[in-house]
Chain A
Amino acid sequence: MSTTVTTSAKRLNYLNVDHGMKSWLLTKDHKRIAILYLISLSFFFLIGGLMAVFIRIELATPAGDLVEPDTYNRLFTMHGVLMIFLFLIPGVPAVLGNFLIPIMIGAKDLAFPKLNLASWYVFNAGGLFMIWAMLHGGVDTGWTFYTPYSTAFTDTHVIATALGAFIAGFASIMTGLNFIVTIHRMRAPGLTWFRLPLFVWAHYATALIQVLGTPVVAITILLVAAERLLGIGIFDPALGGDPVLFQHLFWFYSHPAVYIMILPAMGVISELITAFARKRIFGYKFVAFSSVAIAVLGFLVWGHHMFVSSQSVYAGILFSVLSMLVAVPSAVKTFNWTATLYQGSISWQTPMIYALGFLGLFVIGGLTGTMLATLGIDIHVHDTYFVVAHFHYIMVGGAIMAYLGGLHFWWPKMTGRMYPVFWSKISAGLVFFGFNLTFFPQFILGYLGMPRRYHAYPEEFQVLNVLSSAGATILGLGYLIPIIYFIWSMRYGERAPANPWGAYGLEWEIPSPPTTYNFEETPVVTREAYDYTGIEEKSVA
């Protein structure tokens, strides 16, 4: 026990307790696994981003002059596949959730540390399948693998890519299972459900979706592979099957998957807003239960992806109404965050800039979502850039803003170092501005009728497309700057104190970076979450 006490000049923590590749690759420490995930995710994010670069360069001119149409199909497919399965779905849970959930609930580790490490290996194995497929010509079905094109017509690497998604899906199940058991069974004494940070509630709701949804897409992918490989008919109409059944099974997972991406992001925002408004969240229980409500409702709305694919009009009406209901818990969250800001003592630190950016972008993404849930409007803008802009506002403007905000908030805890404040604020501004410039014109383009997934377009759309490509350049710069200063900070950054923001939470009561087992003694929790009375305000700037 005495080795962890801070008497020696060099305090032992989870980073310096052990050295060498082996100590990392065989680690069972949830914090080290979070770092491993961070490295993998950054890698896949950069490759997926590279695809987007080619897409935006191609679309800068109306003619299809940079790549062949077939190549373009592969570019947007691989962009979607990599970003969704290998970045957004693991995203916040695998990096921030892995690092923080045991600490936030006062535990030494997750309930199943070996399973946690296994999930990282499984995830990378899935990623390797996809990268292999990409290097051997890629896949051109779109990330949705719609049948019968994917099983009977395309000659690209559907099976390798889909199996990659299948394998990575198991990593997602493992993470979700681990979180559910950990949150149920490992909470510190006194930490009741309604004293949990909302970050933990959001991850609990996310884990429910991961556990209930992912197996369905897994079996669906196996059936697609069997149909393509063995020629046995489940979905192919030529073999007596029904392609719409594929769409039902696929979206039964893949719509809830959107909430796998956004719910943990919402958990991050609850932490950031309270920390930088220095206030207890407005309506704790409403925010907590709205996460669960989104998770439950999320399973009842998949049909809104099929308004124009032969679904009955009555089913369409039902799915339309249910989809709009999702707006209720989402609005509860948004209004409660805003109400938390009211009369708060707001400080403009970098994570807060991301959080406020999230609020603005998520509102636009969410409201256009209810527009798309309206049957009549959807038929007009279906498969246009309006849809593309909508889901990028949720996934990039929502999930990635929160991911970056969370990374900037907990970076001092994860690495024990501060990053340059000036550059981080510049890059947060660039991300917000660049994002809007990239995707807002796409709403207009879609409304005017520009279809998605084409490499060429009529000349009257060029001005808006050039604006979008220019915005993408700024956005890309905004993503590159943090990568540089985060790496720089690990060596040269100022040393971080235990609680650099003056924030409330168990993670801020232990040293930065934490020791391997987080707490020397299991903490006893006696206060409500976000109880900011009596916590000293600090300023880093």
Chain B
Amino acid sequence: MPDPSSGHAFGLAHQFDDYEQQREASYLGVWVFLVTEILFFGGLFTAYIVYRSQFPFAFAMGSHELDITLGSINTAVLIGSSLTMAMAVWATQTGRRRSIVAYILATILLGGVFLGIKVVEYTAKFEHHLFPGPNFHWQGSDPAHVEMFFNLYFAMTGLHALHMVIGIGILLVIAVLAWRGSFSPQNHNLVEGIGLYWHFVDIVWIFLFPLLYLLGRNIQS
């Protein structure tokens, strides 16, 4: 390969003129990626809105089966993880290496707690025959559309959980990089990028929680 290093500084990719350009490109890239994520979830939200408006009663019955206590705890846990993530970004900007690692590990821990509680909830649904498919069983009226509520519940929270798993994986890599001192106040695009992603995944949950757990709870069967 020809020599790309002529006049190029450490950590600056060959296609960029300076750190400023590299940073702006990297942020814009993450934002555009998050836009695609919104539309990715958007398909499911559309399906939810359409069917909720068509079958409000069946969906309310489905909502009653969800555990509102665990859902609330999880919401608090996830908001807490957003705080630790924001602190990790702040620690990177101010160059506190140990704090970065500590805050990222805290974020991973809170993400793990969230997923753990999710596993407890999913297990309960399996045991109560509320997982869609051949084993689904519903005593009350309109089982087909209650099952559809659970289709959407598992599709939406499952896709959200998958995003959490991917986020935790990336955070583990970043924790190692941070421990090795790969980030500096000039060069920390990776931490900012994963921070944006983590907040995005949180915000998706902020929409999922009321839609799935809270809406229609006042309707009695």
Instruction: State the main secondary structure of chain A at its contact with B.
Output: helix
Q: Are B144 and A239 in contact (CB under 8 A)?
A: yes
Mask, A207-218, CB within 8 Å of B = 1, is 000011111101
Q: Are B2 and A111 in contact (CB under 8 A)?
A: no
B50 at the interface (CB under 8 A from A): yes
- Select A186's contact among B2, B25, B39, beta carbons within 8 Å: B25
Given contacts A181-B32, A230-B133, contact A215 B2 (CB under 8 A): no
A-side contacts of B148, CB under 8 Å = 233-234, 239-241
Given contacts A233-B144, A234-B151, contact A215 B25 (CB under 8 A): no
A102 to B25, CA, bound (A): 14
Residue of B nearest to A170 (CB): B36
Q: Are B40 and A3 in contact (CB under 8 A)?
A: no
Mask, A384-415, CB within 8 Å of B = 1, is 00000000000000000000000000000000
Those of B23-40 within 8 Å (CB) of chain A: 24-25, 28-29, 32-33, 35-37, 39-40
Output the least CB separation between B6 and chain A (Å). 6
Given contacts A17-B1, A111-B15, A113-B15, contact A216 B132 (CB under 8 A): no
Residue of A nearest to B136 (CB): A232
A212 to B40, CA, bound (A): 9
Q: Are A215 and B37 in contact (CB under 8 A)?
A: yes
- Select A211's contact among B24, B32, B132, B145, beta carbons within 8 Å: B32
B17 at the interface (CB under 8 A from A): yes
B-side contacts of A270, CB under 8 Å = none
- Select A522's contact among B6, B17, B54, B134, beta carbons within 8 Å: B17
A110 at the interface (CB under 8 A from B): yes
Q: Are A112 and B1 in contact (CB under 8 A)?
A: no
The stretch among B41-49, B70-78, B120-128 that forms the contact with chain A is B41-49
A516 to B43, CA, bound (A): 41
A423 to B207, CA, bound (A): 61
A-side contacts of B16, CB under 8 Å = 111, 186
- Select B15's contact among A12, A17, A110, A173, beta carbons within 8 Å: A110
A242 at the interface (CB under 8 A from B): yes
A-side contacts of B132, CB under 8 Å = 230, 232-233
- Select B155's contact among A3, A112, A226, A516, beta carbons within 8 Å: A226
Q: Are A180 and B32 in contact (CB under 8 A)?
A: yes
Output the least CB separation between A148 and chain B (Å). 14
A177 to B29, CA, bound (A): 7
Residue of B nearest to A1 (CB): B6
B-side contacts of A1, CB under 8 Å = 3, 6
Given contacts A180-B28, A230-B133, contact A108 B39 (CB under 8 A): no
A109 at the interface (CB under 8 A from B): yes
Q: Which of A18, A173, A234, A515 has the most B CB atoms < 10 Å from its CB?
A: A234
Mask, B170-191, CB within 8 Å of A = 1, is 0000000000000000000000
Q: Are A233 and B14 in contact (CB under 8 A)?
A: no
Q: Are A242 and B50 in contact (CB under 8 A)?
A: yes
Mask, A221-237, CB within 8 Å of B = 1, is 00100100011111000
Output the least CB separation between A363 and chain B (Å). 33
A534 to B40, CA, bound (A): 50
User: Which 9 interchain pairs have the tightest Cβ spacing?
Assistant: A240-B144, A219-B43, A215-B40, A109-B15, A215-B39, A232-B132, A185-B25, A111-B25, A232-B151
Question: What are 27 residue pairs bridging A and B, where the CB atoms are less than 8 Å apart in the complex?
Answer: A1-B3, A4-B2, A18-B1, A102-B15, A107-B15, A108-B15, A110-B15, A177-B32, A181-B25, A182-B25, A184-B25, A185-B28, A211-B32, A212-B36, A215-B37, A216-B42, A219-B44, A223-B43, A231-B133, A232-B151, A233-B132, A234-B148, A239-B147, A241-B148, A242-B54, A245-B46, A516-B1
